[in-house]
Amino acid sequence: MNEFRATRLRHIASEGGYSRIRLYGNPGTEEGRRKGGLNSLRTHHLRKTQFKQLTQIRRPRNSRLLAEFLGILIGDGHLATYWMSVTTNSKTDSEHAEFVQKMIYLLFGLRARIRKKKGQNALTVVVTAKNLVNFLHKKGMPKGNKLAGNLHIPLWITQNKNYKKSFLRGLFDTDGSVYQDFRVIKGRRYQGIGLLFSSASESLRKDIIEILLALDYNPTGGVGTHRSIYLRKRENIVRYFKEIGTSNLKHSERLERFLGGVA
């Protein structure tokens, strides 16, 4: 490259730099950064390429309502990168889906949508908000496949008795069931009532058993290949619903129906 051409290129480069500073400001100064930011916003507005703004959410303190919501999430929820969802049965849990929708608004100030999956008996409560995903992840809900690692009850919940109860309520409302328990003892058939939690995560089952024991219940099962944890005996089930309760109409209706036939 000859000297004339090199000098010319240096001149063009310097002129370009001066022009950029005149337009966007000196990036090394606060005023320059402010001016550059304003011009960038104008450019995106003209080109219709606006920045994606994160949805603002309410960030609640630890509470019984938040603990119950974490129980619901760990039971039937999912966190993706930009959205969270809770999927439930459209035939038996439509009222509970609406309850979850209201919880999301009360806790985070966000309006969730309820979607019906075509050809499936499923309802999905969905919220698109990366800030919400990040908040729930920090509170103990895994992103992606929650069963890929060791799923646990969040530590902040295990350190408070009321939070434990609320978490169990949320988890049972999604992954639990009330059932009629039939047994044959010494040739005699007995009809009772039972309650079960089901989870494919052994680490979560261990946490649930620990909490139930700490609350003076007597769970069975849930160890090794047994994916269900059981509570039996009428007095245990009645005490569970009195102390912990349910937010799912399906469970309370089944309880009332089965109690009528329990000896």
Sequence ranges of the domains in the chain? 3-47, 64-149, 175-259
Q: What pLDDT shows up at residue 26?
A: 58
Of the options 1.10.3720.10, 3.10.28.10, 3.30.420.10, 3.90.550.10, the CATH number for the domain spanning 175-259: 3.10.28.10
Q: What pLDDT shows up at residue 239?
A: 94
Third-level CATH fold of 64-149: Endonuclease I-creI (3.10.28)
pTM (predicted TM-score)? 0.76
Question: Which residue's entry shows tokens 């019906």?
Answer: 116
Q: How far apart are CA 140 and CA 159, in angstroms?
A: 14
Do 64-149 and 175-259 show the same overall fold? yes
Q: How far apart are CA 122 and CA 91, in angstroms?
A: 8
Q: What pLDDT shows up at residue 243?
A: 96
Check if the beta carbon of residue 228 is closer than 8 Å to that of residue 181.
no
Q: What pLDDT shows up at residue 43?
A: 66
Question: Which residue's entry shows tokens 């009645």?
Answer: 238
Q: What pLDDT shows up at residue 188?
A: 79
- What residues in the chain have per-residue pLDDT under 50? 4, 8-9, 12-13, 20, 261-263
Q: What pLDDT shows up at residue 60?
A: 95
